[in-house]
Amino acid sequence: MRVMIVEDELLVALDMERTLEDLGFEVVGVASDERQARALANHGVDMALVDLNLRDGLTGLRIGDALTKSGVSVVFMTGNPDLVAAAVPRAVGVIAKPVGAEDIRQTTDFVCGLRGGRRMPAPSRLRPLERPSR
């Protein structure tokens, strides 16, 4: 699975990247603002870990919404989890920061299961978002 990280704090992003690579995922890159995120999205992304507050402001919601519309599984990882629920209902869910390696492992397992059509319980720290009716 190809993963993109949308995070403007360099040390946090590098730690997430290392964890994902250790888990066997291909990290297509790290974006610290909306322009970079839109450019990375063109590289065949399957999943994105997205913060809300980025270098260019509170653009994470807009980024996540655009990604979900193109079939990317989006998980928000933010210090402001209450801002997410109504804004991007197609996202997989949200985890409140700080996020550790085990959170990332459990979340990526969950997303892989969803993308593979398996129903499984969400990790304890992941708050799933409501699915829109189709």
Q: What are 57's two structure tokens?
A: 């402001």
Q: Please tell me the predicted confidence (pLDDT) of residue 133.
A: 42
Which SS3 state, helix, strand or coil, does residue 61 take?
helix
The answer, yes or no, to whether residue 90 has pLDDT greater than 90, is no
The answer, yes or no, to whether residue 112 has pLDDT greater than 50, is yes
Interval 58-81: pLDDT, tens: 999 999 999 999 999 999 999 988
Which SS3 state, helix, strand or coil, does residue 131 take?
coil
Q: Please tell me the predicted confidence (pLDDT) of residue 85.
A: 66
Whether the bond between 98 and the residue before it is cis, its omega within 30 degrees of 0, is yes
Which SS3 state, helix, strand or coil, does residue 39 take?
helix
What CATH number labels 2-128? 3.40.50.2300
How far from chain centre, in Å, is Cα 56? 18
Question: Where do the domains of the chain lie?
Answer: 2-128
The model carries a pTM of 0.93
DSSP element (H, E) containing 133: none
The answer, yes or no, to whether residue 3 has pLDDT greater than 60, is yes
How far from chain centre, in Å, is Cα 113? 15
Q: What are 9's two structure tokens?
A: 């704090």
Which SS3 state, helix, strand or coil, does residue 77 take?
strand
